[in-house]
Amino acid sequence: MARLTESEARRQQQQLLQPRPSPVGSSGPEPPGGQPDGMKDLDAIKLFVGQIPRNLDEKDLKPLFEQFGRIYELTVLKDPYTGMHKGCAFLTYCARDSAIKAQTALHEQKTLPGMARPIQVKPADSESRGGDRKLFVGMLNKQQSEEDVLRLFQPFGVIDECTVLRGPDGSSKGCAFVKFSSHTEAQAAIHALHGSQTMPGASSSLVVKFADTDKERTLRRMQQMVGQLGILTPSLTLPFSPYSAYAQALMQQQTTVLSTSGSYLSPGVAFSPCHIQQIGAVSLNGLPATPIAPASGLHSPPLLGTAAVPSLVAPITNGFAGVVPFPGGHPALETVYANGLVPYPAQSPTVAETLHPAFSGVQQYTAMYPTAAITPIAHSVPQPPPLLQQQQREGPEGCNLFIYHLPQEFGDTELTQMFLPFGNIISSKVFMDRATNQSKCFGFVSFDNPASAQTAIQAMNGFQIGMKRLKVQLKRPKDPGHPY
């Protein structure tokens, strides 16, 4: 709560500062009251500025850019809900010429303190018409540099940008982005190059396709997380499947993307609304929830609960691909789906029809997972941080969720895992009945930022598990004015 008021105050302060002193480059004093922010040229260019340290705001950045001309508008991009600095900004000079000078002088030329990569100063996406022109290039070999890729693509048009993706150590990830000046050129390159050759050492032929959109990227990430959850928690996968929840969350995330092209989904994670209902039907029919969980059935195996979850947090929160401890998919996971649980006919079979094959799928799955198979995974995680052990730490206001209508079988671990994809979880707790040691079917999850909480609400509120629908809403803030 302190954060919001702070940022509001800052915003107000900035507004007060609006009638600012005349910029360095301008001649003579401003006419009082006149020319509020000046006029911008009709052909002015809006610039995108990237790689800005998050502790710099407009007033910190102004001096850097003013030396190239009078600034018409400079806006640091912030998350609309949290006010969190996004590390980039939009900049428009009054004069087109200033923008060009700034781009020439600064783009990739200077690295701001604390940044790993040089500052980006280039026309904003909104400035360029012409839709898709950025390509993803896969199946390069790791020796190929930007120059090599450039050589490959130059014949098809003007290349605005060419980046080989690299790991933290600078080694190539075997793929690249190439941005052409037009969609047509990009299309031509795809046509000519995709599958055209196999780079020495690459496992298959060159991939050239349009790069993922933001939406596709988000989806892809969630899918990766879903995959990891399945690997980490085989005992939880069925029948109260986080899969079904995530599947629906995924469905909600995407609007038209998947409905038109589901081709890039792997079979194992391709869901349809029909399949989700099937999974729901299974759970409401009272299948044993966690076949290899300890006797109580209320808690997950400690190894999973304490070790596996934090290991998942790392890649989500800091994006270090290198720390993901479980490369590749899991064959057993495929098996479940291959054995008829998910791929039902689309007709809407009766409950009786769905129950049997689903049940056999469960049996088969658990049979392949003696606990011994899980243990090495948990052990591979060094120093399990006591993430779940800590007492209910509340997040800031707006970060804490109340979740009701949880399945009886859900414990803290399940709750945590269900909400992991939406952000960094500070704490999560399912409330238990003291007398019976049974879940009260509600709990709390705290994120470290309100945006994650909102995302989680959007994705999970109303989600159907079995006969119940989750209620996911902000926890009522403790109001000191109303002690009761």
Partner DNA sequence: TTCCATT
Contact residues: DNA, CB under 7 A: 46, 48, 50-52, 75, 77, 80, 86-88, 90, 117, 120, 122, 124-126, 134, 136, 138-139, 163, 165, 173-175, 177, 203-204, 207, 209, 211-212, 214, 217, 220, 319, 321
- Distance of closest approach, residue 290 Cβ to DNA, in angstroms: 32
Give the angle subtended at the CA of 77 by the CAs of 88 and 425, to the nearest 5°: 95
Q: 139 vs 472, which CB is nearer to DNA? A: 139
- Distance of closest approach, residue 411 Cβ to DNA, in angstroms: 32
Q: 207 vs 465, which CB is nearer to DNA? A: 207
- Distance of closest approach, residue 165 Cβ to DNA, in angstroms: 5
The count of residues in the chain is: 484
Residue 215, Cβ density class (10 Å: 0-12 exposed, 13-18 middle, ≥19 buried): middle
- Distance of closest approach, residue 478 Cβ to DNA, in angstroms: 32
Among residues 212, 91, 209, the alpha carbon closest in space to that of 139 is found at 209
SS3 14: helix
The values of phi and psi at residue 93, to 5°, are: -90, 155
Give the angle subtended at the CA of 261 by the CAs of 229 and 226, to the nearest 5°: 5
- Distance of closest approach, residue 475 Cβ to DNA, in angstroms: 28
Q: How far apart (Å, rounded) are the C-alpha atoms in residues 64 and 91? A: 12
91-to-58, 109, 117 alpha-carbon distances in Å? 10, 17, 19
Q: How far apart (Å, rounded) are the C-alpha atoms in residues 400 and 462? A: 17
163 C-beta neighbours (distance < 10 Å), count: 13
415 C-beta neighbours (distance < 10 Å), count: 23
DSSP state of 195: T
Q: 289 vs 316, which CB is nearer to DNA? A: 316
Q: 173 vs 393, which CB is nearer to DNA? A: 173
How is residue 410 written in tokens? 């859900």
DSSP for 406-434 reads --TT--HHHHHHHHGGGS-EEEEEEEE-T
Residues 212, 220 contacting (CB under 8 angstroms) = yes
Residues 420, 367 contacting (CB under 8 angstroms) = no
Q: 204 vs 360, which CB is nearer to DNA? A: 204
- Distance of closest approach, residue 32 Cβ to DNA, in angstroms: 28
375 C-beta neighbours (distance < 10 Å), count: 14
Taking only Cα atoms into account, the Rg of the chain, rounded to an integer number of angstroms, comes to 26
Q: 132 vs 433, which CB is nearer to DNA? A: 132
Q: How far apart (Å, rounded) are the C-alpha atoms in residues 303 and 306? A: 6
Q: 138 vs 234, which CB is nearer to DNA? A: 138
How is residue 145 written in tokens? 């540099």
How is residue 122 written in tokens? 């280039």
Give the angle subtended at the CA of 144 by the CAs of 141 and 150, to the nearest 5°: 125
- Distance of closest approach, residue 155 Cβ to DNA, in angstroms: 21
- Distance of closest approach, residue 60 Cβ to DNA, in angstroms: 16
- Distance of closest approach, residue 224 Cβ to DNA, in angstroms: 9
Residues 96, 44 contacting (CB under 8 angstroms) = yes
Residues 467, 387 contacting (CB under 8 angstroms) = no
- Distance of closest approach, residue 202 Cβ to DNA, in angstroms: 7
- Distance of closest approach, residue 212 Cβ to DNA, in angstroms: 3
399-to-313, 349, 423, 444, 462 alpha-carbon distances in Å? 17, 41, 10, 10, 19
**Helix (H) or strand (E) run with residue 227 in it:** helix 214-232
- Distance of closest approach, residue 462 Cβ to DNA, in angstroms: 27
